[in-house]
Amino acid sequence: MNIAVVSAEVAPWSKTGGLGDVCGALPRALAALGERVLTIAPRYKAYPDAWDTGVRARIYLFGQTHEVGYFHAETDGVHHLFVDHPSFHRAGIYGDSYGAYGDNLFRFALLSRAAIEACTRVPLNGEPLGEDVIFHANDWHTGVLPLYLEALYRPAGRFSRAGTVLGIHNAGHQGTTAAHEFAGLDVSARWWPAADFDGRLNPLKCGATLARKIIAVSPNYAREITRDLGFGLEGIFSSRGRDLFGILNGVDDAWDPRTDKHLEQTYGIEDVAEGKRANKAALQRELGLPARPDVPMLGLVARLDHQKGVDLVQAAAPWLLRHDVQLVMLGSGSSALEGWFREAERTWPDKVRGWVGFNERLAHRIEAGADIFLMPSRFEPCGLNQMYSMRYGTVPVVHATGGLVDTVETFDPLEDRGTGWAFPTFSVEGLVEAMGWALYTFRGHKDAWRGIQRRGMERDFSWDRSARLYRDAYEASRP
């Protein structure tokens, strides 16, 4: 099967969150199954490992012809194309300190068109991918890709066997913009109803309407977006019935405590206690926290977005920090929460560190050093950090929503089951109660704690299983 994964982010080249992780890792897992896979993303900057193919395409959009170039890299049996255009060469992927870029619809429509063109134009060690391809678009950015296929290519007899899949990583972002921008997309007005959302142009709705299959990033999220977490698109998602799948994300090999190059000391299930002790000590040293092996260390790594519920941690902090704990947080985003990180450090100097920014190495070291990982998300399509935590023997405390429900099972002391705590209601009380149980178990029931860690570490979150499910959905997405 020839598969083109088209995304605004592909790690390690570009990443602001899990979208990048998934579009980096899933293609590798598909290639390992023997599929021919190409990722297509913008060339946000000069990547040292990607070379100019010399191929150019001219694309008419927003009243002008735009020339794009294609850069190519190949790693782990996966081809990667980076679409080159001046509108991608900016400080941020989606925006800067003034907010989202005003021409994002143009930028990502250009990516979508360039991706379709690439399939027939750009040779990948010989031959282009061809028209017999599965397009896997992701989130609102490439929601217009299925529109282009239906409106421009299929009517001309092209890509007639091509499948289209829309991956839903986050229905909370839909790229909605003014209706008049539709004219810039250069498709006939008869397609407007697919994009029309209360009189505005909604690229995610467009993809959700026109992609032949839709894949949400966890089974529970696939249900939630048809009920109350579709941000207004519940009706569209439920109308897609059997075309809507939920497939859980996997964990990439870069997140394996046995081989993680960022750690002070690597470890596995057999030496988890010793490994975590060494990594905790290193984190305390590095962050200037008191070197105390026994103090429960709470970790948090997140985009500081409303979605992530970090405000709940803020509200619960006075309660949490009345206990003998250390709290280490890493994130960037909302200036209010960044401000709170700094303030919390000042208020509890020997207990709290709030690192503002994006720091891959520190994210790994927190997963390894912390005892408990906090993830009180309001909604969470899948969530990767809770899975990383379980792999690292770090016990997650999460709000029971989205993929967190599919992955974290609340500890049951009678049955001796469970891998963490998932609190049912999004509230400070919910978080506090779950944290109460977690701290009580950590301090007083060491054997039970070790059982929770072990069960988490034994869970199979490999990409291989999910990649097989993707393959089935891809095959089913052909006309």
Contact set with ligand GLC (CB under 6 A): 17-19, 22, 169-170, 217, 249, 380-384, 403
Give whichever of 94 and 358 is closer to ligand ADP, judged by the CB atom: 358
Establish if 302 lies at the interface with ligand ADP (CB under 6 A).
yes
Give whichever of 403 and 418 is closer to ligand GLC, judged by the CB atom: 403
Q: Build a one-symbol-per-residue string for 328-367: x at contacts with ligand ADP by CB under 6 A, - elsewhere.
A: --xxx-------------------------xxx--x----
Which SS3 state, helix, strand or coil, does residue 133 take?
strand
Give whichever of 22 and 81 is closer to ligand GLC, judged by the CB atom: 22
Give whichever of 134 and 302 is closer to ligand GLC, judged by the CB atom: 302
Give whichever of 163 and 403 is closer to ligand ADP, judged by the CB atom: 403
Sign, Cα dihedral of 355, 357, 361, 364? positive
**Cα–Cα distance for residue pair 122/104, rounded to 1 Å:** 25
> Smallest distance from the beta carbon of 447 to ligand ADP, in angstroms?
30
Establish if 246 lies at the interface with ligand ADP (CB under 6 A).
no
How many other CB atoms are there within 10 angstroms of residue 160's CB atom? Answer: 12
Number of DSSP helices (H) and strands (E) in the chain, helices first: 16, 19
Which alpha helices (DSSP H) does 8-78 contain, by range? 18-32
Which two tokens mark 86?
């001046």
Contact yes or no for 398/34 (Cβ under 8 A): no
Contact yes or no for 45/89 (Cβ under 8 A): yes
> Smallest distance from the beta carbon of 309 to ligand GLC, in angstroms?
12
Instruction: Classify residue 178 by its DSSP letter.
Output: -
Question: Which does residue 363 bind out of ligand GLC, ligand ADP, none, counting CB within 5 to 8 angstroms by kind?
Answer: ligand ADP
Establish if 17 lies at the interface with ligand ADP (CB under 6 A).
yes
Establish if 303 lies at the interface with ligand ADP (CB under 6 A).
yes
User: Could you say which of 246, 383, 402, 451 contacts ligand ADP (CB under 6 A)?
Assistant: 383
Question: Which does residue 217 bind out of ligand ADP, ligand GLC, none, counting CB within 5 to 8 angstroms by kind?
Answer: ligand GLC
What is each CA distance from 193 to 179, 199, 202, 205, 210, in whole angstroms?
A: 11, 9, 10, 10, 11
**Cα–Cα distance for residue pair 171/230, rounded to 1 Å:** 6
Contact yes or no for 101/90 (Cβ under 8 A): yes
**Cα–Cα distance for residue pair 332/319, rounded to 1 Å:** 24
Give whichever of 84 and 139 is closer to ligand ADP, judged by the CB atom: 139
Residue recorded with tokens 């925006």: 95
Establish if 18 lies at the interface with ligand ADP (CB under 6 A).
yes
> Smallest distance from the beta carbon of 377 to ligand GLC, in angstroms?
8
What residues make contact with ligand ADP under the rule CB under 6 A? 17-19, 21, 301-303, 330-332, 358-360, 363, 382-385
